[in-house]
Amino acid sequence: MDDKRFNAGVVNLGSAFPSFDQALRAIQESQDFPETVQINIVEKSLDVKSASLPVLSAEVANFRDEEVCATVVLDCWDDHCPDSSFILRALPQPIIRVGPPVNKNQYELINVHTLDIVPSANQLAMALQQTIEKFGWRSLTIFYHKTGGYHEVAEEVMSLMSQSDTFYRMAEIADSEEDSAHLEQLEVFLRSSKNRKEKHFLLIADSETTNKVLHQAHGHLMLDPRHHWILSNLEVSELELFEYRNTGVHLTVFKLWTRWHLNFMFEDAFQRTRQVYTLQNTLAFDAASVVSHAARISAEQQDVCHGIRTAVPEVRFNGSTGEVAFGPEGTRMDLSLEIMELSSEGRPAHVGHWQEGVGVSLEEWANFTHEQSADPILGGRHLKLLGRLKNPWLVMKEGASCKFGVVCPRKNFAGFFPDLMDHLQKRLGFTWEMNLTKLSIGDKVKGEWDGLTGALINKKADTVLYGATTRSKRTEVLEYSFPVAHQGYYIIIKRADTTLNIMDVAGIFEFLAPFDNLVWAAIGAAVVAVSVSLFFINILDPFEWRGLAQRGLVEEDEGKNLNLVQSLWFTYGCLVGQGGENLPKSIAGRVVAGTWWFFILVTVASYTANLAAFLGRANKIYAIHTLEQLVADRTMAYGTYKSYTLLDFVQNTTLSPYREMGKYIEDNADTAILDTKEEGLRRAAEGNYAFIAGANFRYLLQNEWCNLTLASEPFFKSMDIKLY
């Protein structure tokens, strides 16, 4: 019998898509494929993103000249691919399409008929909506990527949800070229959902966007037993779900379902081509199987090509993605989707399935309730804790007491760390008890760690509650969490008494405070200079008072109006705003007087402004708000505790203003280096002294040292309180 050959066309519209001809070749080499039938593959790759319409039209025309009997279109899954319907309309029928889910109703409107291996957007939307109803959700938030491969599924879901009683909100995931802008908008959506206490979410997006959303939701503590997410993405192997295996979150995914195992032909084909079992690979194999089954059916016919065109829409077989058969609209018939739930092993596990025309069926043992579940690591454990008192992290309640080394009842203490443990206990399902200790954080002595660090290493305690700062040497044996708080140092000074009048604290010469002594000296020198200038002008200028008196134009006594004494009186009178009795007559005298008046105008305005600011503060200490101001103020003494890390730093650094502080402390060691912290607080309370203290003292001031205040924002913030 003569061999029968026909052409099968493959049009690749996407990028990096699995090779179709390798799958078809593997099928032809199988034992059950007719030896008399030879399939010749005619492959055409079209750059739909950048090629012009005339170029694409010419390429399609060349492809039609090949006289193919069936066309397989490997459609573009990329977010930025253009509409390919005009290409599909020009290709030879029948067309087997492998691509993202589309709305078949819209294809019919534009007269495009394809056989889709992938479930249509209508089918997938129906599966999602019926699953939501099966779970009994009354409200949910739908995150959707409008430009992704699943955007038509989102449109169909919205249409179905509008006809149901379930309340839903839509949140569009932006398709931004700037990843930061994309994540910023996503952060806003997640925060608003969390603030509304929303527990149910439907995510319609491609695998890359789905992974991003889940990662951000995890950071917002929205992947835990209280939350349930449904993912529309069928590419389960591309989803990064393993890291969420211990969160307890209900995470539902769908997969094209087959009741039978994968056939050996499929497995052998992709092992030899070194391709992975992705959704696109399995769909390509089923598309090749459609062509091969049609070839088997038409093997005995005289016109094989005509038989294949007739048989392709009628094929039915068990493929790698389930039962493959096409309805009148070109969609998959008898479609089944496996419903899977994320397991503690990090892999989706079977919990039910969705059948077109039947609906959702869940296994009896499947549990989708949102009761609090225990953490698989800490759940049910009883933890032994060591705690050291440190305000505000761990403090004893007023009137309560506990013995060191003995279990302390929870009702006896308070603070940030006990509250944190209570919250974790509810979330993770463990219990705990705590013993108080006087141990320090610990150091390495002769190769062994002592203190609280040693207790953790030697497993004498499961957890330590202590507000310790980070040190690089401890990273040898301890693993730090994210910082609980950022620490630093503060300037503590005496609180101003706002009931005092300015005159109660001001001296007799306080009116001089608005100007520096140098400025006052300059003003005095200006008074003398102007007076002397007027005196000499009066003597030398014939048109001044003295010259006029000599010529008999004025009285003889008026000739003495600008002698040295009268000139000083004139200058002083103008300075204090009283004016002069006799103004200069000559032009030179008037120039000097006018210049003096302008100088007085500027000086008085500056003095008045500075005086108002000076009178508005009741105490000079309010001038200090930063470390730089403290170092520059020569009148206020300051100091710090001898064991602070800051002291070692300022004595060895070259950075300003710490270098100046170190020099001052070295020169005034008797008052600047304090033996106890209480001594620093006492000196600050006496006044005119600034105590540089650690962050913990800001809580102490609120209760015990009410006459002290923090004069600065924290500085030298090199310490972080963390958990171990």
Instruction: Give the annotated binding-site residues for L-glutamate.
Output: 469, 474
Would you say 622 and 636 are in contact if contact means Cβ atoms under 8 Å apart? Answer: no
Residue 324 corresponds to which tokens in the numbers above?
């493959």
SS3 for 23-74 is HHHHHHCCCCCCCCEEEEEEEEECCCCCCCHHHHHHHHHHHHCCCCCEEEEE
- Output the DSSP codes for 186-253: HHHHHHHHHHTT--EEEEES-HHHHHHHHHHHHHTT-SSTT-EEEE--S-GGGS--GGGTTS--EEEE
382-387: strand order across its sheet: 407-408, 431-436, 382-387, 463-465
d(C-alpha 232, C-alpha 513), whole Å: 75
Closest CA to 136 of 352, 371, 370: 370
Sign (positive/negative) of CA torsion 456, 462, 468, 474? positive
341 Cβ contact list (under 8 Å, min separation 6): 250, 251, 252, 253, 348, 349, 351, 366, 368
d(C-alpha 71, C-alpha 42), whole Å: 9
d(C-alpha 93, C-alpha 313), whole Å: 10
Give the bridge partners for 43, in sequence order.
10
135 Cβ contact list (under 8 Å, min separation 6): 200, 228, 368
Give the bridge partners for 171, in sequence order.
143
Q: Is the peptide bond before 100 cis (omega within 30 degrees of 0)?
A: no
Q: Which residues are annotated as a binding site?
A: 469, 474
- Taking each helix axis from N to C terminus, what angle separates 587-615 and 564-575, rounded to the nearest 10 degrees? 40
Would you say 171 and 119 are in contact if contact means Cβ atoms under 8 Å apart? Answer: no
694 Cβ contact list (under 8 Å, min separation 6): 487, 489, 490, 641, 644
- Output the DSSP codes for 258-317: -SSPPPHHHHHHHHHTT----HHHHHHHHHHHHHHHHHHHTTTSSSHHHHHHHHGGG-EE
Give the bridge partners for 98, in sequence order.
74
